[in-house]
Amino acid sequence: GENVEQHPSTLSVQEGDSAVIKCTYSDSASNYFPWYKQELGKGPQLIIDIRSNVGEKKDQRIAVTLNKTAKHFSLHITETQPEDSAVYFCAASGGSYIPTFGRGTSLIVHP
Amino acid sequence: DSGVTQTPKHLITATGQRVTLRCSPRSGDLSVYWYQQSLDQGLQFLIQYYNGEERAKGNILERFSAQQFPDLHSELNLSSLELGDSALYFCASSPPAGELFFGEGSRLTVL
């Protein structure tokens, strides 16, 4: 089955800095790559996703890049704010649309 | 608010006991997914139902079972509970080939 590795497990940045979270996947059949944000006491919430026919997608301060050849994808957050502090999960899925999640990155943005 | 409702929010029980977690999906979503989130394992897919039928199975123990009822709500039954079953259990629902919408989870503590 699919295996998703996510790094780093913890990321601490100063407000205004950029943050990058990287993931790799194992199944070349995977074609959908969502990113979820989980705030304390809440369930994960989709923040951005990318499909395999696209190399990059942007939504305001958040961007995701995908390299299908290398089987890795990354989340980029620019101009970080304290409210960006949360746990971020990458995921990968194929035809079943059931995402396999990475282990999460705890992002801490210091004011 | 994702529109997915899970009850109870917190549950404390003893080893060997049995509990039932309940999930009401978003209006119109036919698919329901159950995930287990523990500190060392991240988000692990347990099982998916689609319109009352089991669609896919993940790392679900034989002591666990689930079902989806005609009104589309779902229940996850956990029996012969062990200390290691302590975790957050999330339910998610989705439209066909769409993103997952997660509930706020049920936190199970087994003493």
CA distance A9 to A92: 18
CA distance A79 to A17: 5
Q: What is the dihedral of CA A34, B104, B93, B74, to 10 degrees?
A: 150
Does the structure show a pLDDT above 90 at A54?
no
> What φ, ψ does residue B87 adopt, rounded to 5°?
-175, 175
What is the arithmetic mean of pLDDT over B23-27? Answer: 96
What is the arithmetic mean of pLDDT over A11-22? Answer: 98
Gyration radius from chain B CA atoms: 13
A71 DSSP 8-state letter:
T
Does the structure show a pLDDT above 80 at B73?
yes
Q: How far is A17 from chain B (nearest CA, A)?
A: 27
Residue A44: beta bridge partners? none
* B48–A98 CB contact, under 8 Å: yes
A73 touching B, CB under 8 A? no
Q: What percent of chain B has pLDDT over 70?
A: 99
What is the arithmetic mean of pLDDT over A9-15? Answer: 97
B93 touching A, CB under 8 A? no
What is the arithmetic mean of pLDDT over B55-61? Answer: 92
Cβ within 8 Å of residue A65, ≥6 positions away: A50, A55, A56, A73, A74, A76
Looking at residue B93, its amino acid is S
What is the arithmetic mean of pLDDT over A19-36? Answer: 95
Residues of B in Cβ contact (< 8 Å) with A102: 42
